[in-house]
Structure 1
């Protein structure tokens, strides 16, 4: 049985780009379909382009439309810069402080 109350963490490492964004998109779709709160840990992301940004926006839209919650965590310099440049900082604002507890998680390695 899937726990719909506890947050579920998706941890991303490496680059999120045209090659790796589709897999991240699928992982986020699945996580948001199964869990009410999904924490997206981006602390180990070294690069993100517009394809990665598109995956985040799609996940945020899915969460909003389904009454779920997507929480960004650990937006390092590459991600924070892209959010600021595109004006999406507010829409995809990361949660303040550390990720929520010791949530179940799935690693997602962006590649490269």
Structure 2
């Protein structure tokens, strides 16, 4: 009888330890995923992620401005330093908003 109690107590202790281990492992994995995602989005080298867009992706001739983009970032991304000159509907280069459609003519030096 005492042997059965010891086995039951030992099994319960092992189950409790395994449960704590799994809970700690799960929390660690969640935190690791959160921190690794945010650090990957900060990389700024060409061909790596910046936000959710790939910088080395070629731009189409018709470009729709996305959230947080400026004419400067679009110019760098697409290789077109003359966006304002080719888009007469842009009266103020600082007044660029998501959804604005612009014409892109990338230079062939890139």
Query: TM-score if structure 2 supplies the norm length?
Result: 0.26
Structure in which a larger fraction of residues adopt helix: 2
Comparing both structures, which one devotes a greater share of its residues to strand? Answer: 1
Q: TM-score when scaled to structure 1? A: 0.25
Could you say which structure has the greater relative contact order, defined with CA pairs below 8 angstroms and 6 or more residues apart?
Answer: 1
Rg comparison, structure with higher value: 2
